[in-house]
Structure 1
Amino acid sequence: MYGDVHRRRDRSFAPGAVAAGDRPGPGCRRGRHHDAGSRGGDRRLRELTRADVEAAVVGGALLGGGGGGWPADGRRLGALAVSMGRPTLASIEELPADALVFTVSLVGAPAATERYLEPIDHLRAVELAIDAAGCRPAAFIANENGATATVNGWLQSACLGLPVLDAPCNGRAHPTGTMGAMGLHRRAGYVSIQAAVGGDHRRDRHVELAVRGPLPLADALVRQAAVHAGGLVAVARNPVEVGYLKEHAAPGGISQAIAVGKLLIESPPGERAEAVASRLGGTVVARGRVGSYRLETRGGFDVGRMEVASDQGTFRLTIWNEYMTMDGPGGRLATFPDLIATLDREGWPLISAAIEEGTDLDLLIAPAGRLVLGAGMRDPELFRLVEEAVGEPMLAHAFPGFGGG
C-alpha cells in the first residue's frame, strides 16, 4: 500500500508550516489550542516503542474484528513513526478539557486492489484539516482499533510533536465514518471538517479533498474520494474538545489493544485463541475450514459472506469491512458490535480481506460489553445501513429493546 516515503519532497510537512493555524477558526470555536506540556503533561507522556508497534498491530488486528487494515501496513507505518521521531501516548486527563483534538484515520476498502498511500499523505491530510479549521490540534486520536488503525496518529505524533490520546473514537473497528464520529452528528450546530488524501499520482489517481458540512454528508464525500483514489485515503477530521471524549470516545482503547497484542505474542501458538477469548470474556466457538467465500469491493466497502465448515457444523458470517454477524447450527451467535474474529492455526488474527476458500481458522466471539466502545456503537439508527448492506437482521439482536422497527 505504501510508496516511497522520500518521494514528493515538494510536499514535505513540518510543524512550522502550519504555525499560522494556531488562531481559532470557524471549525474550532468551542476550544483552544494547547501545547501538550501546558500542564506538565509532557513529563507524563509515554513514548511508544517498536515493541508497542508490534503489540498494537497484533492486538489491533484481533479487536478489528475482520477490519481495521492490513497488519503489514500497520507494521510499516508504526516502524516509520518510531524511526522518524518519538511518538507519545497520553491519557485524556493530561490535557485541558477545552484542548482540541483531530481524529486521524484511513477510509476505504482493505481488499481494493489499487489502493495506494504514501506516508506523507497522512501528514498532508492534517495540514489540509488545519487550513480548513483555522486552528492547530493539541493531540490526535485514532478512529478505531485495527491492525493499521491502532497506529493511526503515531506518525503524526512523531513528526509534529503532538501526543496520541488513549481515547480512540471506538475500541473496535467499524464500517462507517459516522459510527466513528462519537455522536457528533447529533451535536447541535456541529459542522464536520474533514480532509482526505491518497491515490497514486503516477496513475492520475491522487486525490486531495477538504470538506466542511453536515457530518453524514462529509463522510459520504470522503468515502467517494477513497473510491476515486483507488480504494483508500488518509483522513484528518472532526475537531473536538478533549472534554467531549470522556463520555463519547473509548478511553483506554489503545491500551487495551496493546495489552491484547502482548497476550497473543507471549502465549504459546496452540493457546493464543483461548487465552484472548478468556481475556475478553469470549469463546472459541469452532475450528474449521472456509468453504464458500465471496468478497467484493462496492461503494468503498468490502462486502461479502463466508461459510466455515467444522465438526460443530457450518458457521455463516457476513462482512461489511468487519464481520457483522455470525450464525451457527443453532442460530445467531454474535452480532456487531460484538467481536467476531478469525485466527489462523497458530493463533494470529486474520482480517476478512486475507481469507480465501480452504483457509483453516478458528472462530472467536466476545460480547460487546467486554470491549471499550465509543458512542457510535450505542446509536441504533446507525445500524440500519448495516442491515441493508449485509441483508441480515441486526437491530433486533444488537438492540433487543429498540422499538424503531
Structure 2
Amino acid sequence: MRALLLENIHPEAERILREKGIEVETRKGALDTAELIDALEGVELLGIRSKTHVTREVLAAHPQLLAVGAFCIGTNQIDLAAATEHAVTCFNAPYSNTRSVVELAIAEIISMARHLTDKNAAMHEGVWDKSAKGAHEVRGRTLGIVGYGNIGSQLSVLAEQLGMHVHYYDVVDRLPLGNAQRCDSLEELLEKVETVSLHVDGRTSNNNLFGREQFERMRPRSLFLNLCRGMVVDYNALRDALVSGHVAGASVDVFPNEPKAAGDPFESVLQGLPNVILTPHIGGSTQEAQVDIGRFVAGKLASFVAAGSTTLSVNMPQVQLASAVRGTRLLHLHRNVPGVLATVNSVLGDHGINIDGQQLSTRGDTGYLVTDAANGVTAEVIEEILALPATIRLSTID
C-alpha cells in the first residue's frame, strides 16, 4: 500500500505509516488539482494540510484512493460529500494544535495592548521611545470570543487566568467555562467587549462573517484577532477601520489566498500598517503540535488500513472493532437503505460462514458494516456482496 504526504507533514507521520508496512512518499509543498491527480497514481492514502484541495475531480480520477488525512483542524479543503460518494474515508486532527493556537492568541493580545511590535520596530531603527502612551495591561479588559469550540473555550480559560473578563458567542448553545458569559448574538458581543478574537470553522455560511458592519459595531479603539479562516473576514474593511483609528490593533494569521509553499511571495492590504501583526498561518505551527498531529492522523490512517476503524472520521459512519482480525474482516460501505444487514448475513449464511463479530453504523445516506467472518470467505462470496444494489465499496482484511 502506498501513501503520499504533502505540505511538509511532520516525519512522525511517515515513521508510523512505514512501521505498518506502508510505502510513503513525502513532498514539501502543496499541489494544485492537475498536479495532485498526477501524483496520486497508485496511491491509496493521502495526507495533506490546509493548502491542497481534494476536489470531486481528484476523487473521481482515483477510485483506488481509500482515505485522506487532513493533518490540521479544518477539512473545508476536502469535498467531503464527494469523498463519501467515492467511498474515501477522511480524518483530521481536531484537538492536537489547540494549545498552540491559544498561546499565540494570548501572546498577540498582550503584544497589541502594549504596542510591542511598534516599540520593537522603533528600536531597530535606533529610536528610544520609552513611553506608556497607548499601552495597557490586559488584566481587567474584556475579551469577546466568536466561536466557542475547542480553541475558543480554552482561550476563554487562559484569558480569565490573566484577569480578563470573557464573553462569547456561538451558533451552538455551548456551556461556559469558568466565569465566561454567553451572548445571544454577535451584535451583543461586539457592543460589550474591547478585544474580539475569531475562532469559527470554514463552513460556507461563515464566508465574510466579519465585515464593515461588524467593525463599525466594535467599540472604539478595540483590538481584533483572526486565527481561524481567511475567508471569514473582509480585510479591506479591516484596513479602513485600522486607518481610521476605530480599531486600535489587529493580529491576522490566516488569509483568503495564501502562498502554496514557504518562500513564495505574499501580499495583503494590511501590510505596512502600525500595530498590525501578520503571521504566515502558524497558529498550530509548534513542534509539539506538529508531532501530536502527525502521530494522531497517521495513527487513524494506520488503524483504518489495519482494522477498518473509522472512529473520529469526519465523513463516514464511525465503527470500531477489536484490532485483532480472526479469519477475514469484511468492510462493507453501502447506501443506508433497509435490509442491508439481513441481506449480507443471508449471503454469508448461504455459504456456511460463521460470524465472529459484527458492527453496523450509519451516517446520513451512508452505512458501514464491519463483519468478522471465521471461515469460508471466497471470491464468490465477495462477488455476491459487491453485486448487492446498495454496495458502494467492499474491502477485506485477513
Query: What's the TM-score once normalised by structure 1's chain length?
Result: 0.24
Flag the structure with more relative contact order, 1 or 2, with Cα contacts below 8 A and sequence separation at least 6: 1
User: Which entry has the higher C-alpha Rg, 1 or 2?
Assistant: 2
**Bigger share in strand:** 1
**Bigger share in helix:** 1
